[in-house]
Homo-oligomer: A and B are copies of this chain.
Amino acid sequence: MRDREKVFIEELTQSKTSFGIGDDGVVLGDFVVANDAFFEGIHFKREWGSLDRIFKKAFLVNLSDIYAMNAIPKFALLTLCIPKDFKEARELARIFSAIAQGFGVKIVGGDTIVGEKLHFSFTILGEKGKKTLFRKPIQKGDFLAYLSPRSPLNLSNKQAFGKNLKHLKNALRFDQILKNSRFDFPILYPKMILAFNEIAKAGMDISDGIFAELARLAKLNSIDFKFFQPKGEWFYSPEEYQMLYALGAKKLKKAQNLARKFRHNLIVFARAKRGKYKKIKKNWHS
Contacts and interface: CB of A to CB of B under 8 A. Distances in A.
Contact of A18 (B2, B36, B97, B112): B97
Given A7-B89, A7-B90, A15-B93, A108 B41 contact: no
A77 B79 CA distance: 12
A28 B73 CA distance: 13
A107 B33 contact: no
Interface string A20-34: 110101101111011
A155 interface: no
B89 A4 contact: yes
A229 interface: no
Nearest to A35: B77
Contacts of A47: none
Copies in the complex: 2
Nearest to A101: B17
Interface residues of A, number: 68
B116 A17 contact: no
Contacts of A78: 35
A26 B93 contact: no
A19 interface: yes
Contacts of A25: 109
Nearest to A87: B4
Contacts of A84: 1
Given A5-B114, A11-B93, A19-B107, 17 more contacts: A5-B112, A9-B93, A9-B112, A15-B107, A17-B100, A18-B97, A18-B106, A26-B75, A26-B77, A28-B108, A34-B109, A35-B109, A37-B79, A42-B115, A116-B116, A116-B117, A121-B121
16 contacts: A5-B112, A11-B89, A12-B96, A17-B106, A18-B106, A19-B107, A26-B75, A28-B125, A36-B111, A37-B81, A37-B111, A39-B115, A42-B113, A79-B79, A81-B119, A119-B119
